[in-house]
Structure 1
Amino acid sequence: MSRIAVTFTLNGARRRVRVAPMKRLLDVLREDCALTGTKEGCGEGECGACTVLIDGRAANSCLIPAVHADGATLVTVEGLARRGGALSALQQAFVTMGGAQCGICTPGILVSAQELLLRSRGRVPGDAEVREALAGNLCRCTGYQKIVDAVRAAAREAMPARARAARRAPKARATAKARRTAKRARRAR
Structure 2
Amino acid sequence: MEVKFQLNGKPAAADIEPDCMLLDLLRDMGCYSVKRGCDTTNCGLCTVLVNGKPSLSCAMPAARAEGKEIVTLEGLQEEAEDFGRFLAKEGAEQCGYCSPGFIMNVIAMMRELKDPSIEEIKEYLAGNLCRCSGYEGQMRAIQNYMKEKGGQ
**Gap runs ≥5 in structure 2:** none
8 A contact 1:89–1:157 mirrored in 2: no
- Match in the other structure for 1:169: none
If you compute each CA radius of gyration, which structure gives the higher value, 1 or 2? 1
8 A contact 1:41–1:104 mirrored in 2: no
> CA–CA distance in 1 between the matches of 2:148 and 2:75?
19
Q: How many residues align?
A: 152
Of 29, 33, 45, the residue aligned with 1:49 is 45
> CA–CA distance in 2 between the matches of 1:98 and 1:44?
30
Q: Once superposed, what is the RMSD of the aligned Cα atoms?
A: 1.8
The answer to whether structure 1 residue 108 and structure 2 residue 101 are counterparts is yes
- Alpha-carbon distance, 1:141 to partner: 0.5
The answer to whether structure 1 residue 98 and structure 2 residue 91 are counterparts is yes
Amino acid at match of 1:89: D
> CA–CA distance in 2 between the matches of 1:113 and 1:89?
12
- SS state at 1:81 partner: helix
What pairs up with 1:1-189 in 2 under 5 angstroms? 4-31=1-28, 33-82=29-78, 87-120=80-113, 123-159=114-150
8 A contact 1:38–1:107 mirrored in 2: yes
> CA–CA distance in 2 between the matches of 1:78 and 1:58?
15
Residues 35-85 of structure 1: CA deviation (Å, up to 9, x unaligned): 111111001111111111111111110011101011111111222212xxx
Identify if the C-alpha distance between structure 1 residues 87 and 57 changes in structure 2 by more than 3 Å, giving closer, same or farther: closer
- Alpha-carbon distance, 1:87 to partner: 4.8
- Alpha-carbon distance, 1:93 to partner: 1.6
Amino acid at match of 1:105: C
8 A contact 1:125–1:152 mirrored in 2: no
TM-score for both structures, normalised by structure 2? 0.91
> CA–CA distance in 2 between the matches of 1:47 and 1:87?
19
Amino acid at match of 2:123: E
- Match in the other structure for 1:183: none
**Gap runs ≥5 in structure 1:** 165-189
- SS state at 1:62 partner: helix
Give the number of the structure with larger relative contact order, counting CA–CA contacts within 8 Å between residues 6 or more apart: 2
% identical equivalent positions:
36
- Alpha-carbon distance, 1:153 to partner: 1.9
TM-score for both structures, normalised by structure 1? 0.74
